[in-house]
Structure 1
Amino acid sequence: MKAYGKWIGGIISCLAAVAVTACGADVAQPDVGSETQAIAGQAAPVYPDRQIEYVVPYSAGGGVDLVARAAADYLSKEWGQPVVVVNKPGGGGTVGAQYALKQAKNDGYTALAVNVSNTSMLSAGMKQPLITNEDQVYAARIGKGTLAFAVKADAPWKDFAEFSQWVKQHPEQLTWTSVGPAGFSAFGVAEWMDAIGADFTKTRMIVTKGASDSLPKVAGGHAILAVHTVGEINPMLQAKKVRILAVSGSERSPFLPDVPTAEEQGVKGLTVFWWTGVSFPKGTPDYVINKWEEAVAKMVNDPAFVKKLHGIQVEPDYADSAQFTQDVAKETGYYVELAEKRNMRK
């Protein structure tokens, strides 16, 4: 009987427990929300907590390098951790990009100073590029530079409209400089040729090592045209060795307010522009990307930083990760179409 009683009592206790729970009694339950928050908290550690390597895939002194150094200086102070610029030039920007995107860890401590030449233009100029948009996460765009068309200071053309008409009639006489068939200058020239209806294939490209090499060639009469950013041309412009006939875009450059746009002179549709920003390898944690987005957004509104950009004729041009990614994808599609149309893809 005692065993029977204990058995009955056990059943009654179990039924009571079920009833109490069902009726909503104050029974301690696991705090799922707290656990989720704890896991989320663990997934977002303090960043950065040590030195960041900011890879510039070009030589020191160029536009990408100077913007990166200004950004590194600002971010080092903002975060209280050193952001160190490391130059890894070669391969038109692909050597440094491969290092930062394919060899380094995707932990947020190796960033790439990315720009138009080794992204959308590289993808458009090569059928099998070494670096693609899919290899990286675009964190934030920092600044942009206006494309300008420069000729020798005493060149015979009074303006860009007259020069364009001459080129349309005599394309075989036009020589222009570029680091290669898929360089920034090449896309600028190809777009211009397309806009005026000139035969791009009859013009002649003179390969150079960049603005520091090409502009002296134009000034010395060894090439007719150099297409670079306003900042790259400015030293030779100030020395009165070259003359800028026009800038691209819908508005005049704030650094050259007296130089009319190509559109003002009847040449419409020139959209090529230079930009630079920061990207990371695929798989980089979201908290890293978010941190850079927030910091760059604040940085481009900092008067001291903007002053540094203006000193090298670069305009602040912020875009967050989503917008930056969308812009590069759209730009890549446009450049691929242009390259295929002008038989520039290799």
Structure 2
Amino acid sequence: MNTANPVRRKTFAALAFVAATTLVAPLACLAQGNYPNRAITLVVGYSPGGSTDKLARLLAQSMQEDLGQSVVVENRPGAAGNMGAQVVAQANPDGYTLFMATVSSHAINPWLYPKTGFDAIQSFEHVALVARYPLLLAAAPGSGVKTPEQALGFLRTHPDKAFFSSAGVGSAGHLSGELVRLTAKVPMTHVAYKGGGPAMLGVMSGEVAVMIDPIPAMIPQVKSGKLTAIAVTSSQRSPALPDVPTLNEHAIPGFDVTSWAGIVAPAKTPPEVVQRLEASVARALESPRFKAMLTADGAQPSYLPGDKFRAFNEAERQRWGDVVKRAKISAE
């Protein structure tokens, strides 16, 4: 029979708890202070070879040089980026699993998919915006359409041929085309293809009149003469295609649309870890070599720290939600 004083037992238990928590706290701080001490996984919600994948690999190389640990790109394609985003949203919030968020996964998909498995804002800590991508309006060389005014004029006067292609329903190209239709009052009809490659073949073969897609995917076909670059969707011309005008210049004043990508981590990732990652992205974007590689690919280096990236993401989500509602778009 235990005859020890109950008060003494409670006191001992309390002291033991304090000792344990006192020991654990420094160890937790030490672990975070040593971050990173193993490989980091950067999840991309698309297949290898696309613009998001290419950006992720460039960034991973720069970050691992800065962080002193491997940054491994893992492709998790599916549901326009939703599958990869869900995996990261449910990952351990320790800074070792990150996601390359895009305009599709974090601004468009929330309006198209009733059940994504994550909240684009609340399920993540926003680390940093990395780059923005102007989109390109292009046509087949044999169409005779070479300027933005000619393109809109052709679409208005040939409604039976006013089809535009994109990489799929809900893609940045699709939503940008719908915004052109709504803003310029052009009777365009969307044709969804399974990927950017088939969408480009659609316009080259004459199945559709024009195509809209992020610049990086289209530059090779433009430079080879297989596509005619008509206009970019950003407010300023792209250094990658400096001779190509913007829609904003003459055809649709005030038009400014870009795709974008940035790094996010699971919600509740420690603030000091997020700050370490944010600083690493900032250093990558300060590199002349890194910036030159992005620019050559048609991207605009566009660093925003975590808090500003979060606000930017929220604004983009509201903007594209309005377009989805006005255009009555559904992914189902």
Query: What amino acid is aligned across from residue 107 of structure 1 in structure 2?
Result: D
SS at structure 2 position matched to 1:296: helix
Aligned to 1:309: 294
- The partner residue of 2:104 within 110, 117, 126 is 117
Shift of 1:39: 9.6
Mapped pair 1:107 → 2:94? yes
Q: Which moved more, 1:244-253 or 1:324-333?
A: 244-253
Distance 1:170 1:78 in 2: 54
SS at match of 1:319: strand
| One of 334, 337, 340 as aligned partner of 2:322 | 337
Q: Are positions 1:135 and 2:123 aligned together?
A: yes
Query: Aligned in 2, Cα 1:50/1:38: closer, same or farther, shift over 3 Å?
Result: closer
Secondary structure of the residue aligned to 1:265 is coil
Letter in 2 for 1:275: W
Counterpart code for 2:100: A
Which amino acid is the alignment partner of residue 338 of structure 1?
V
Map 1:62-81 → 2, pairs under 5 A:
62-81=50-69
The alpha carbon displacement at 1:126 in A equals: 3.4
Q: In structure 1, the residue corresponding to 2:81 is in which secondary structure?
A: helix
Once the two structures are superposed, residues 9-66 of structure 1 have per-residue CA deviations (whole angstroms, 9 ceiling, x without a partner) of xxxxxxxxxxxxxxxxxxxxxxxxxxxx979955842110111011111111111111
What displacement does 1:266 show?
Answer: 2.8
Task: Report the Cα distance in structure 2 between the residues aligned to 1:52 and 1:40, rounded to whole angstroms.
Answer: 19
CA distance in 2, matches of 1:196, 1:170: 15
CA contact (8 A) 1:51 1:109 kept: yes
Shift of 1:128: 4.3
Unaligned stretches of 5+ in structure 2?
Answer: 1-24
- TM-score, structure 2 as length reference: 0.87
The 2-side partners of 1:194 and 1:131 are apart by 30
1:174–1:204 contact (8 Å) kept in structure 2:
yes
1:272 maps to what in 2?
257
Q: 1:236 aligns with which of 209, 215, 221?
A: 221
AA aligned opposite 1:306: K
Higher alpha-carbon deviation: 40-49 or 110-119: 40-49
Q: Which 10-residue stretch deviates more, 209-218 or 76-85?
A: 209-218
- Per the alignment, residue 241 of structure 2 pairs with 256
Q: Structure 1: where are the runs of 5+ without partners?
A: 1-36
Q: Which residue of 1 aligns with 2:9?
A: none
Q: 1:151 aligns with which of 139, 150, 170?
A: 139
Question: Structure 1: which amino acid aligns with 2:198?
Answer: D
> Among the aligned pairs, what percent are the same residue?
26
The CA distance in 1 between the partners of 2:26 and 2:196, in whole Å, is: 53
**TM-score normalised by length of structure 1:** 0.83
Equivalent pair of 1:148/1:248 in contact (CA under 8 Å)? yes
Kindly state the Cα deviation for residue 310 of structure 1 after the two structures are TM-superposed.
2.7
